Structure 1
């Protein structure tokens, strides 16, 4: 038991210790300027119109040209800076870093130039719309390209297909022996097909319209390079009026808003057959009155 004097002394010691601890704690209180603070997220800032980040316009978004070409079921060939697109012959042509282009054989000016990125050709949806004559849209979040059916120039869409309709070349020559022309065409049986083929003397290949152009050119008849333009030459004839050497034009179903656009051409050789080039084996003879070709036959023209 502690006496009265000892209790007083003990209490004094406790009070002294308490004061020391209290003062020490006050002296060691963290300095808010030097101690780490808990992380806090800044309050969202509301931007006014002038501060809003600029959005990239859809027309400025470059996407692979091959996506649109594949969607249309067409072919694409790149040679140097030149890019050719079409079905059995060239329908469109662009050049890297240039706004000048060809759409259905007609010169146009694109709003943005095609660009080369990692070996692939890129174009903006707006430039593709101008090239194809069809609305092209790019959904960036889903990375999907949508393209409508091609709308060709009015002059092509209103191509005269009725018998007797006259084109730019009514009768290129009346002195060509039709049998000789057919025999000459047969000399090229088996020559390989190549989309966008260069002149035969250079490439030793044909596409559908370069074949007809080459054959007729041998006899002094100057045909345009592309099937759709060849379809605007000569004079329209009925099936019953066909003669060897007449040109037969075929549609490309589903490629255009109008299926009356020629996308393939062959030469009638008699007996319901034609000579043309198409995939493998290249230049070949096909029946035009049955099977696939009967279903897509469009019209016939006489240029001799």
Structure 2
């Protein structure tokens, strides 16, 4: 069984997950060992973690690994839900934290090396389809992606997800999703880390996010120019759209690593869906941290400073 656990951890390519899985497997929620009618002890914590990791990585149903792991369907489903609950509770405060002062300084340094002063990340939404949902509520999940739940996320160039807000019905869009009091809570309360930068001789004290054209024209949003006229505006639109691909790459990597969020959601309970999605985001950030995030060194290696910056056409509203 330790061999199966090693294979499951190796699916994500992250050695740090081995220690994390062992921590979860030895936790009180996974150490509930019961005896059956013949006195045989039940499944261990490592056994349950193996089942949970395989279901998250391959996006399979609860009866896909019953012959291989010798576990029933109900035990498979319960193991994945408990695994996700423990990951969110234990590792959520660290790997889903809001940017601290040190994090903000590092993000601003990376953005400056890329030629986009004051940039904190790229913002976009991803739809997760629901396979099973109450028919009485299907109207509010009918958007341009049918029967889906929206994940709003902010990602930096190293693919670290700094903000993840999940649970909005699919009938919403990019216009009304940012109106949820989540992303700008600290900014409105005056608790956001300080930010000072200069663009074209103007001093700014508020960072911004790159978005597509459908987002509202807020001060913290910078979108592309739909019909650029002239070399300067065309260059700005090209650099903005290229930099904004960070969030698209993040969604692609997240779905590639965890097939459970690539296919239709099979759970019914909205809280369970939130725990599964949040668990995948947390483990995604764990893998990003394990692989290293020396993006500034990589940018210097690629000689990004030789490119012209995209600060010429940026103006706060």
- TM-score of the superposition, structure 2-length normalised? 0.26
Higher relative contact order (Cα pairs below 8 Å, separated by 6+ residues):
2
Q: TM-score, normalised by structure 1?
A: 0.27
Name the structure with the higher strand share: 1
